[in-house]
Chain A
Amino acid sequence: NLLGVRHILLVLSGKGGVGKSTICTELALALRHGGHRVGILDVDLCGPSIPRMLRMQDRAVHQCDSGWVPVFVGQDRGIALMSIGFLLERPDDAVVWRGPKKNALIKQFVTDVAWGDLDFLIVDTPPGTSDEHISTVEALRHYKLLGAILVTTPQ
């Protein structure tokens, strides 16, 4: 679970397509370059973009006795990544779920993933201010939530 994570950052926008996933990925890589241990939690269940951005879309997650093992990126396994993208049978499978099912999975992503010791966990969210966002904040309530970054374009 998240007890070994020192700081949690949420990346939000409201509007879609402004670059949340891109910024999450670049931020994680930049923090990694700075020598920190980093994880990315992708709670965009309908449109998970992070696996593809890190070329991890063909990977799968495994179980260990403390839960799911995140996918590790890079030779040095420097970034821990969890996304619904890894749980789909095929990467093109659509996730057409209503709120309660989404909430259940997000809770699991928070409590049942063996994140280990991380300096930063960056959470990529979908557009809007809905189930995913409410569930994520509720599930993270008891952990060290550093804050949220808002991404927007000038439009």
Chain B
Amino acid sequence: QPSGPAEEALRDRRARLQSRGLPRQKPIEGVKQVVVVASGKGGVGKSTTAVNIALALAANDSTKEVGLLDADIYGPSIPKMMNLKGNPELTPKNLMRPLKNYGIACMSMGFLIEETAPIVWRGLMVMSAVEKLLRQVDWGQLDYLVIDMPPGTGDVQLSVSQNIPIAGAVIISTPQDVALLDARKGAEMFRKVHVPVLGLVQNMSVFQCPKCKHETHIFGADGVRDLAKTLGLDILGDIPLHVNIRETCDSGQPVVISQPESDA
């Protein structure tokens, strides 16, 4: 691309014109900091990690109020993992009251539909649903709102990052090549929408046989560490593939709460 003051001015003007059509970022009332948990790739442990991050934030400092928003409209996992069910009540101001468990205020599409009902929606309807989950909830005063994102780099991610200011994004990945490919795209997406990436989490890094204790790197070794180095990002955590993590989430008693002393 040509450079020089005239070209710079033209690029600036173009960017300003394009951004005029975009929604303005407005913070959610009462919410101090928003952290999004994303990946690009599906099935790497976003929801599991988001749930445990929210619980850990609350456990580390009992004076902090933490909320958890499940932005995975198509496959909401938070209700099951937080052992919450039911339709949210409405406040006198017609806002939805988040459901609470383990001290965390939660909101999810899963509370608004039947557990087995699929959401087969195009982007436009999804955008409107995400708006509601962000703005029409009585979050109260929160120090942290953790947002569990769906896989991909599309409508939901754009809607969330264009609508509210985000303190930072945590990107989860397994060490597997195809997961890293997508994690990289996730990081690139956050760069495009000016959301700071706090770092990467390497999930399912190693499996230890419960019988003989032999360690296997099922998804490869250190892929996420290498990617972090390439992108100049921190590794925020390294989590093993442990049957306890999955079992406790499936049963609605996440490992941070039910087994706080475990390695996992």
Contacts and interface: CB of A to CB of B under 8 A. Distances in A.
Interface of A: 14-18, 21, 46-47, 49, 52-53, 91-100, 102-103, 126-131, 133-134, 153, 155
8 contacts: A17-B44, A17-B179, A47-B151, A53-B178, A98-B158, A99-B122, A126-B152, A155-B246
B188 A94 contact: yes
B151 A52 contact: no
B123 A130 contact: yes
A99 B154 contact: yes
Nearest to B159: A98
Interface residues of B, number: 37
A30 to B, nearest CB: 20
A99 B123 contact: yes
A98 B154 contact: yes
Given A46-B154, A94-B40, A130-B126, 18 more contacts: A16-B151, A17-B41, A46-B40, A47-B41, A47-B152, A47-B178, A92-B185, A94-B153, A94-B186, A102-B154, A127-B42, A127-B75, A127-B150, A128-B151, A131-B122, A131-B154, A155-B246, A155-B250
Contacts, number: 122
B181 A130 contact: no
Contact of B178 (A52, A96, A129): A52
Question: Which of the listed residues B118, B120, B154, B155 has the most CB atoms from chain A within 10 Å of its own CB?
Answer: B154
| Minimum-distance CB pairs A-B, first 7 | A16-B42, A17-B43, A99-B123, A128-B74, A94-B188, A94-B185, A127-B42
